[in-house]
Amino acid sequence: MGERVCGLLGRKLGHSWSVPIHEALGCEGYRLIELEPEDLASFLRRADIGGLNVTIPYKRDVMPLCGEIDPAAADIGSVNTIVRGADGVLRGYNTDIDGFIYMARRAGITLAGKKVVVLGTGGASLTAQAAARRAGAREIAVISRSGPDNYGSLHRHADAEVLVNTTPVGMYPGNGAAPVDLTAFPACRGVLDVVYNPRRTALLLQAEELGTPCCDGLPMLVAQAKRAEEHFTGRAIPDSENERILSQLRREMGNIVLIGMPGCGKSTVGRLLSDLTGREAVDIDQQIALRAGCSIPEIFARGGEAEFRALEREETARAGALTGKILLTGGGAVKTPANYGALRQNGRIYHLLRDLGTLPTDGRPLSQGADLGAMWRQREPLYRRFRDVTMDNNGPAEDTAAAIWRDFCEHSGD
């Protein structure tokens, strides 16, 4: 037999990160396989199928097409991994549960003895429910759009201790949406979201703000892929591979975000970072000017700061949804609270510090003739609220760029 077909089977797969994960695990030729429902059965009859992962909407549809179903997958009621054995039999497994357990453990969230509320009823929900049962959860409530446990009756589950989102709400390109408000669950001590793009959904950003342990779905995706590869190849893969690949993906997909006072050197440091890393630098002020068809001073002259901030918020939302970029913000971006979520969702935020006396003011409408000391006193708490790291930029900009890249490589996986 020739080369075996390995890949991810689904209907719409443009958002998937499975290819780089499986390539990092040594599966060359892994690809995305998009099929319409009427083509599913004929595809699975192919003799050259090696190993397949299965995603929405086919995790249950493939089960009757498999010759054998692993007991754990049968218990869950969902298959996400298929292997054609040497005997030609298609065998179905569920490795999502391995990934889910890994995600929860990595976040320090325990399910034993807890009331677990699962949002959604699809294949990922079945996995979360099975993991909660296996862990010994005290109670499991599944929330759907209809039925007795629905989004209109969430008050019945205000005592939830762990919340799991298995819906696509908040997933790219629907960034910024949240399925629930966490303040409705005052007893919640852990939030798990199977969405992995963006890294921090609106739900997870709120969990961070409330100090609630939480995790996105990328660790689950990586860990289930590692287990699937073990089924594909019949060989064990060290668990350390999960962290290696996770760190690699975090570094490749994360944004480096620069904030700071007007004239503090964001553009210069951003350009140097772009040269150093090969990443595209996205200047949000430039994007605003392009969209408006005029310069920033002309926007201020035409519609004042209010028009500029509205444009800035829209362009920040667009830029923040990107991955693997360097984002350069305007000095006053921190004045709009919504910009925090947009920048933080995929980014590590660096605050550049420079002596006020060295800040240029030409071409900066709010800096010209302004008391920079007063501006700093107003904005410093906002910079503090936004930033992950401070970086002194009073020395050579090359040194600042190098320091940011070192920090990002070390901590982007945190």
Q: What is the pLDDT of residues 284-305, one digit of tens each?
A: 999 999 999 999 999 999 999 9
Mean pLDDT of all residues in 378-389: 97
Instruction: Supply the mean pLDDT for the chain.
Output: 94
| pLDDT class of 236 with cuts at 50, 70, 90 | very high
Catalytic residue among 12, 59, 226, 335: 59
Task: Check whether 233 has a pLDDT greater than 60.
Answer: yes
* pTM of the predicted structure, to 2 decimals: 0.92
Q: What is the pLDDT of residues 352-363, one digit of tens each?
A: 999 998 887 665
pLDDT at 205: 98
Write the DSSP assignment of 260-303 as a string of letters.
-STTSSHHHHHHHHHHHH-PPEEEHHHHHHHHHTS-HHHHHHHH
How far is the C-alpha of 287 from the C-alpha of 302, rounded, in Å? 18
Q: Counting beta carbons within 10 angstroms of the beta carbon of residue 178, is it exposed (0 to 12), middle (13 to 18) or buried (19 or more)?
A: middle
- Does the annotation count 59 as an active-site position? yes
Q: What is the pLDDT of residues 206-228, one digit of tens each?
A: 999 999 999 999 999 999 999 99
Q: What is the pLDDT of residues 159-206, one digit of tens each?
A: 999 999 999 999 999 999 999 999 999 999 999 999 999 999 999 999
pLDDT at 1: 42
Task: Check whether 38 has a pLDDT greater than 90.
Answer: yes
pLDDT at 41: 96
| pLDDT class of 46 with cuts at 50, 70, 90 | very high
Contacts of 3 (CB under 8 A, 6+ apart): 29, 48
First-to-last C-alpha distance (Å) of the chain: 44
Residue with tokens 């993906």: 249
How far is the C-alpha of 325 from the C-alpha of 368, rounded, in Å? 30
